[in-house]
Structure 1
Amino acid sequence: MTRTITRSYDDYAAATAVVEDLGAAGFSDSEISVIGRRGDDVDDSNAGEGAGIGAGVGGAAGLLAGLGMIAIPGIGPVVAAGWLAATAAGAAAGAAAGGIIGAMTSAGVDEKDAHLYAESVRRGGSVVSVRTSEARAVEAEAIMDRATPVDISMRRADYEREGWTQFDANATPYVRPSI
């Protein structure tokens, strides 16, 4: 039986480090996905840079070398690689409901959590997801949790205090408030 384990990270560098650690532990590129925002420099004009982004992270698994730019409705352009990225991009291109939500839920992520993960990417975070056997699930979780992922219960509560109820694929890309 296959399990999908997903974590959200506020920092793109943490997400790519998790991908590298998963690869070093023997998880294959076909099991790992990453979708994220590198920071404030991700915009439509960077769409051709995807492959170079992965090569520049240094020593990353082959998955990171294949990073590309995709546009996800409600999120905007992101760097992405792996099965989740391919499914989300295909769903977006086919105008399937939810794009990223549909990709996550079809992989076994709870719909309520999928909305939160999508919103987290919309707000500048990154998501790493692993599809693996039940036998390796605990190992994957340990690797992913070492990088201090977002506590999704607390993050959901934070978003809900702002009036958020669920990810909206028709929303404009999120712009962080100036401090």
Structure 2
Amino acid sequence: MTRTITRSYDSYETAAAVVEQLEVAGIAADDISVVGRDERAKDSNAAEGAGIGAGIGGAAGLLAGLGMLAIPGVGPVVAAGWLAATAAGAVAGAAAGGLVGSFTSAGVSEEDAHYHAETVRRGGTVVSVKAADAHAATAEAIMDGATPIDRDTRMAQYREEGWKGFDEKAEPYKAPASVI
């Protein structure tokens, strides 16, 4: 049996380290996906495509195949793996659901799909693994060991700000200016 394990991280660097650890542990790159924001990719354009991976920290494996993808409601992201392919297909075909639909079709609950999509919209990065039972505990240990965002705390924060769910028609998120 296979199940989908998904975690969100505040930084691309943390997510990239998780992907590399998953691959070292023997989880096939075909079973791993990453979608997120990386500031080093902001000056790149979507036409540069898959070549961006090596330039932002992925010399081998899944990260070498990172490409740029524009997701409605999120804006430009770096993405690789089956989740990215599903999201790209939804965007190209104007299919309903976009990123949320990609998560739910992979077995993520609708509420969690909205949370993960919103986290990407706000600058985070999501790692998702399709893990056979034999690899699930290893994948979870690696992913949880990197201290993912606490879903419940972050969702409470989003809701305090008036968030009700991911809106693919929303403008890409701009963080409020910090007060010093």
Relative to the length of structure 1, the TM-score reads 0.94
Q: What is residue 4 of structure 1 aligned with on the other side?
A: 4
Distance 1:156 1:178, change over 3 A: same
Structure 1 counterpart of 2:104, which letter?
Answer: T
Q: What is residue 123 of structure 1 aligned with on the other side?
A: 122
Identity value in percent: 67
For structure 2, the residue ranges without an aligned partner over 5 or more in a row are: none
Q: What is residue 18 of structure 2 aligned with on the other side?
A: 18
Distance 1:154 1:109, change over 3 A: same
Secondary structure of the 1:160 match is: helix
Secondary structure of the 2:86 match is: helix
For structure 1, the residue ranges without an aligned partner over 5 or more in a row are: none
Q: Deviations over 1:15-72 (max 9, x none)?
A: 00000000110111100000000038526x5323443432134565421101000111
Q: Deviations over 1:65-119 (max 9, x none)?
A: 0100011111011000000000011011111112111111011001000000000
Matches within 5 A, 1:150-165: 150-165=149-164
Q: Residues 57 and 63 of structure 2 are in contact (CA less than 8 Å); yes or no, is this contact kept in structure 1?
A: no
Using the alignment, how far apart are the partners of 1:125 and 1:39 within structure 2?
11
How many residue pairs get aligned? The number is: 178
Matches within 5 A, 1:100-179: 100-179=99-178
Structure 2 counterpart of 1:144, which letter?
Answer: M
How far did 1:5 drift? 0.2
Over the aligned positions, Cα root-mean-square deviation in angstroms equals 1.6
Using the alignment, how far apart are the partners of 2:64 and 2:162 within structure 1?
38
Using the alignment, how far apart are the partners of 1:71 and 1:24 within structure 2?
29
Using the alignment, how far apart are the partners of 2:153 and 2:49 within structure 1?
32
